Structure 1
Amino acid sequence: MSALDILAIGEPLYELAEAEIGGERVYRPGFGGDISNLAISAARTGARVGIFSHLGDDRFGHAFRDLWDREGIDRSTVRSPKGTKTGLYVISYGEDGHAFSYLRDGSAASRVTPEDLPLDAIGRARLIHVSGISQGISSSAADAVFAAIAHARAHDTLVSYDTNYRPALWPLDRARAVINAAMAGADIARPSLDDARELTGLQTPDEIADFYLGLGCRLVVMTLGRDGVFVATPQERRGIPPRRVDAVDATGAGDCFGGAFLAEWLRHGDPFEAAAYGNAAAALKTLGQGAVATSPKRSEVEAFIADGTLPRRSASTLALRS
């Protein structure tokens, strides 16, 4: 494995998204999982990206390998232990938006242990990215993330951590303890405002930024939903307004933002410009359904930022991109 800009560590999930074709309800296959979504977004933005995870010894695992190969993502550290399965989820759509059902218990990724970590790849990457989901899927996976963070810090590899708090994975008290402890080893805190309110007990973006900077993070990049992004360093804070589009599906938009932000920040080092770039990428991602099919390429994001040009594809075409 050559040196990477970003090594994402966690669980990919195969996607089945509800759709109506010819008056019949069907489930369209696709790809998800926060770290895979982020990796694809970063790769399409031009970063050198790799993934570490375990996939099932099944057709879904093989499909992920093919996807990552098409996207130019290094998967040389990915393993498929014999007899294991890939986790999956189902997206249903209704008047209140989208809902998720998960089938991930005992997945291959949840069985990862600290002994499985690709230490050489972690030490050579510019940045590793992990999340609350990476730790919430099992105790051994949580331990593996702590070990990855410790190894990264010992080798001057940056650490990005997205809270991605999912109540279905673990109780709030445990999630709060684990995530906050992991954040203390991170360089970049990537909470959503809703997650951060749950995990810190604080309410305003400024209070929450103070909390994460106080843990030792050097950069806080907090997504605010419809209100854009709040970026804080020890020296400066700014709200970055959202880009407005006629959204079709927000599934994976936060992951798309994260990947685009990290790739752009690693490219030039300005977190405020990178957040504006990430906002534009996330807006374009919502133009079609699915977690990664509509994740945009750099040329598309740059055209949108320059003059509002949208990709020349219909939402239905976008939905089939992956």
Structure 2
Amino acid sequence: MSPAVLAAYRYCEAVTGHQARNFAYGIRLLPAGKRHAMSALYAFSRRVDDIGDGNLTAGAKRARLTETRALLGRIADGSVGEDHTDPVAVALADAARRYPIPLGGLDELIDGVLMDVTGRRYETWEDLRSYCRCVAGAIGRLSLGVFGTVPGAADAECAPRYADTLGLALQLTNILRDIREDARTGRTYLPVEDLAKFGCPPLLRDAAVPPGADFTGLVQFEVGRARALFAEGFELLPMLDRRSGACVAAMAGIYRRLLERIARDPAAVLRGRVALPTHQKAYVAVRGLAGLDARSVARRDGRGQRR
């Protein structure tokens, strides 16, 4: 690996370590090559997300996203070399040469962020599911391009679907965690039909719940949906090699425990950002490396669904 490419990867790893501590806990379990590639994917994805979440006008955001999509096209066609001035582009281009990464997933991410820019509401779960597939399911499929599946894995053709589903589970957990923060920016991602079912308004302004609304019931309903997505998504784990499986188990395990924290106290999401303490994240990472945490939760959830 040339010094220029190595420097580009180091830049992406610095971005990842600073901006995504949950993600960083997982990818540190990977061998260097896969860790570099995952950092490049994260850094590019973070750039797209930051455009959507920034303070630019809607028109300026669309223009920036169009420029970013054009850069992705140059990466995909191999025209970005190691002498490019953008370290994220250099790292992602190198990762795409080393691994069968389906870069079209990053096009889907841009599509999802454009939905945010237009302020789209989601009437049904299927509507929200389409958004989640763009902004999170696609990341699962991109990651699978780096991880690969073990030779002879049973039902390996289902791996992209499981990776996609696990991404949906993480995104729905994010949506529940960020209800208060999103409300303050005028966003409500939960399906309008679900909000109505529990007597909540289409937009939870300032995270205020009107008298008579069953907010706890709403959260528990969405938690049940997320649990089912996790249970299906965890079917991916036996298809991965030990260290890739540990990475996924650690990242998903952190979010799965976060989901249970929300389930125990649904009103906590209205008081502030729910998070796991650092020592619990480290514990989940260790259990992921041992192949314990996510698999045991998946088995428990599976039994619960069959009853």
TM above 0.5: no
For normalisation by structure 2, the TM-score amounts to 0.31
For normalisation by structure 1, the TM-score amounts to 0.30
Name the structure with the higher helix share.
Answer: 2
- Which entry has the higher C-alpha Rg, 1 or 2? 2
Name the structure with the higher strand share.
Answer: 1
- Tell which has more relative contact order, 1 or 2 (C-alpha 8 A, sep 6+): 2
